[in-house]
């Protein structure tokens, strides 16, 4: 757990006094790296600050960054939304989110009093130019009073349909220019964090990219996918490129297939209207699943800089083989859950959910077979699946290695060995598992699969930060490594649009139904069985 500062001993943003190492424990390199991650003085403007995202994710993330000493003392939060709130009511809204959702909860009263004193709220309609002009005046005043140096981070915590109007208003109010990028008279930087989904197809993504780039330069735009902020996803690069044991076998010669699973136990959770217009392909595969695949399959970057990392991810996406309608019918499965039971709780059928059409054809489950036509991955199938109302909440990348070239132990009467599996668990129990065969002790010759299991929770004496903590801090320091670039977003839609089109035209196979609490439609199992493979159960 992060050590909390004692009451009255530290300003918010300053490293807690009682967390400072003793002289015998000092590690100058570690301290230097930590200081490099403390951003410049800045103001974070949360647009749509009264919504669930702010309460559940942003407020806890900012509080935990403050507790860990990663915020500068001058850091200020401004909420901007339509509701009529006082500054104190806004602070109470953030406090409620921290008390319920933070990994360090509840908030310490004395620490919260200090931190919340730098929080302000402004009411405004998103289409009202006068409200944005008032926001600009407020930010100028905060720069003078608190020394935030003209540095502003705008977080669009609103539905994507509102992004174009808000971005246009930011530009019209003079809030989008960065002195370093434009040579403007005003010093300081401006950056904008944009939440997913980024478009609903290729055309809408291109339109949105163009609209945002009319106001902000690409270097100022941070398209957030919270999966890329998870510790296990970041550790994947270290696992591959920092260990001589694994990089030589990370290719078609040794890997038989790869499975990427994003499984959820929940249904649509009151988001029926949104989900029925979106579906699993757009909601999860376009961003989370394809990003996981790109990070897993990319080549080593020249350096671990944002441009180099994102260049390599784009190369992976560009190498994904496009699907014809025939490929869609053969290599994709779409499903929808019916009534069932998950973790002992009754779950209504998808079509019975509020705000879902009673004859809806929207998929709550997707399984795909993708091919990466590159020198490293040619012939290695990538199986991707995601679904709602499944029996377990789990996100993982499972690597199945090829069998040994000779079934040597069959001559001794041993049954066929299970394939070696490397499972990279992204959530909820972050870690890495390696499964291999070992002889069972005793007479005879029995072989059984055994596990070597690394878990973050038991291996390190610190809590893993929430993904939003990592990503917000990265945006403040100007590190875009874990954010998606415009060409990444557009290429992902290029991969998936033919699938959506084939489904819509009735050329991509029928909609399959599955019971809530099962692992999806049997057609998904049959798709892998045709290749002589089976889904791994996380």
Q: pLDDT by residue (tens digit) across 265-309?
A: 999 988 888 899 999 999 999 999 999 999 999 999 998 888 999
Helix (H) or strand (E) holding 360: none
Contact between 69 and 16 (Cβ < 8 Å): yes
The percent of residues above 90 in pLDDT, for the chain, comes to 70
Instruction: Give the closest residue to 204 by CA, choosing from 156, 158, 163.
Output: 163
Whether the pLDDT of residue 241 is over 70: the answer is yes
pLDDT band with cut points at 50, 70 and 90 for residue 54: very high
pLDDT number for residue 269: 85
| Euclidean distance between CA atoms 201 and 492, whole angstroms | 9
320-367 confidence digits (pLDDT tens) = 999 999 999 999 999 999 999 999 999 999 999 999 999 999 999 999
Bridge partners, 432 (sequence order): 424, 454
Catalytic one of 12, 288, 330, 512? 288
Q: Considering only 146-150, 201-205, 341-345, 442-446, which range has the smallest mean pLDDT?
A: 442-446
- The b/e string for 510-537 (b: 16+ C-beta within 10 A; e otherwise) is ebbbbbbbbbbbebbeebbeeeebebee
Asked whether the predicted pLDDT for residue 18 surpasses 60, the reply is no
- Of 509 and 34, more confident: 509
* Angle 70-74-79 from CA coordinates, rounded to 5°: 90
Rank 8-17, 36-45, 199-208, 241-250 by mean pLDDT and report only the highest: 199-208
**pLDDT, position 413:** 62
CATH number of the domain at 17-195, please? 3.40.50.720
Per-residue pLDDT, 183: 56
What span, in angstroms and rounded, lies between the C-alpha atoms of 41 and 29?
A: 23
Q: DSSP 3-state assignment of 207?
A: helix
CATH (one of 3.40.50.150, 3.30.1330.10, 1.10.150.120, 3.30.360.10) for 228-403+485-529: 3.30.360.10
Q: What is the DSSP string of 270-322?
A: T-HHHHHTTHHIIIIIIIIIHHHHHHHHPPPPSSSSHHHHHHHHHHHHHTBPP
Q: What is the pLDDT of residue 5?
A: 37
Average pLDDT of the segment spanning 17-24: 36
C-alpha distance across the termini of the chain, in Å: 27
Residue 488, pLDDT score: 96
Residue 463 vs residue 413, higher pLDDT: 463
CA atoms within 13 A on the CB side of 482: 27
The predicted structure's pLDDT at residue 427: 86
User: Start-end ranges of CATH 3.30.360.10 in the chain?
Assistant: 228-403+485-529
| Phi, psi angle pair for 66, to nearest 5° | -65, -45
The residues of the chain that CATH labels 3.40.50.720 are 17-195
Question: 183 or 364: whose pLDDT is higher?
Answer: 364
- The 10 Å Cβ neighbour count of residue 146 is 15
Cβ proximity of 295 and 236 under 8 Å: yes
288 is an active site residue? yes
Q: Which has the closest alpha carbon to 508: 519, 520, 496?
A: 496
Looking at residue 461, its pLDDT comes to 66
Q: What's the pTM value of the predicted model, to 2 decimals?
A: 0.88
Place of tokens 């994709």: 332
Distance between CA atoms of residues 200 and 492, nearest Å: 11
Per DSSP, helices labelled H in 195-289 are: 202-213, 231-241, 272-276, 279-280
Structure tokens given for 406: 């000779």
From CA 117, how far away is CA 114, in angstroms rounded?
Answer: 6
Q: Evaluate whether 514 touches 390 at the Cβ level (below 8 Å).
A: no
Separate counts of helices (H) and strands (E) for the chain = 19, 17
């Amino acid at each position: 757990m992060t050590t909390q500062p004692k009451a009255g001993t530290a300003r918010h943003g300053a490293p807690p006094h009682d967390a400072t190492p003793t002289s015998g424990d000092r590690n100058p390199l570690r301290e230097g790296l930590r200081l490099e991650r403390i951003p410049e003085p800045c103001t974070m403007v949360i647009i749509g600050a009264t919504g669930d995202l702010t309460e559940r994710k942003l407020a806890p993330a900012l509080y935990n960054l403050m507790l860990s000493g990663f915020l500068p003392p001058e850091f200020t939060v401004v909420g901007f939304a339509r509701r009529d709130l006082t500054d104190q009511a806004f602070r109470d809204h953030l406090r409620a989110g921290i008390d319920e959702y933070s990994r360090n909860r509840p908030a310490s009263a004395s620490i919260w009093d200090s931190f919340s004193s730098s929080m302000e709220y402004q009411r405004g309609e998103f289409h009202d130019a006068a409200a944005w002009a008032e926001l600009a005046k407020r930010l100028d005043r905060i720069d003078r009073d608190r020394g935030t140096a003209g540095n502003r981070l705008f977080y669009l915590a609103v539905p994507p349909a509102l992004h174009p109007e808000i971005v246009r208003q930011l530009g019209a109010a003079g809030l989008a220019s960065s002195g370093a990028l434009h040579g403007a008279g005003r010093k300081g930087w401006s950056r904008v964090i944009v939440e997913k989904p980024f478009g609903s197809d290729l055309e809408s993504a291109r339109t949105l990219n163009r609209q945002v780039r009319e106001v902000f330069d690409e270097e100022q735009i941070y398209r957030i996918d919270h999966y890329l902020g998870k510790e296990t996803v970041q550790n994947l690069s270290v696992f591959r490129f920092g260990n001589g044991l694994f990089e030589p076998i990370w290719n078609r010669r040794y890997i038989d297939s790869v499975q990427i699973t994003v499984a959820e136990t929940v249904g649509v959770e009151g988001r029926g209207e949104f989900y029925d217009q979106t579906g699993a392909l757009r909601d999860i595969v376009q961003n989370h699943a394809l990003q996981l695949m790109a990070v897993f399959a990319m080549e080593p970057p020249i350096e671990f800089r944002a441009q180099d990392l994102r260049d390599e991810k784009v190369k992976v996406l560009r190498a994904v083989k496009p699907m014809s309608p025939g490929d869609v019918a053969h290599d994709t499965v779409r499903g929808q859950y019916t009534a069932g039971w998950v973790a002992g709780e009754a779950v209504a059928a998808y079509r019975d959910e509020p705000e879902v059409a009673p004859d809806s054809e929207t998929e709550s489950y997707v399984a795909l077979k993708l091919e990466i036509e590159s020198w490293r991955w040619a012939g290695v199938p990538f199986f991707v699946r995601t679904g709602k109302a499944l029996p377990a909440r789990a996100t993982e990348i499972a690597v199945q290695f090829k069998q040994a070239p000779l079934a040597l132990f069959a001559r001794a009467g041993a049954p066929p060995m299970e394939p070696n599996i490397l499972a990279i668990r992204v959530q909820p129990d972050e870690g890495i598992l390696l499964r291999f065969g070992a002889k069972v002790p005793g007479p005879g010759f029995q072989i059984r699969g055994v596990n070597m299991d690394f878990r973050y929770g038991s291996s390190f004496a610190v809590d893993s930060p929430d993904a939003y903590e990592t990503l917000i801090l990265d945006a403040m320091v100007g590190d875009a490594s874990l954010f998606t670039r415009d060409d990444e977003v557009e290429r992902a839609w290029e991969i998936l649009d033919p699938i959506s089109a084939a489904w819509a035209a009735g050329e991509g196979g029928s909609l399959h139904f599955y019971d809530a609490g099962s692992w999806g439609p049997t057609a998904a199992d049959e798709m892998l069985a045709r290749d002589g493979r089976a889904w791994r159960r996380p």
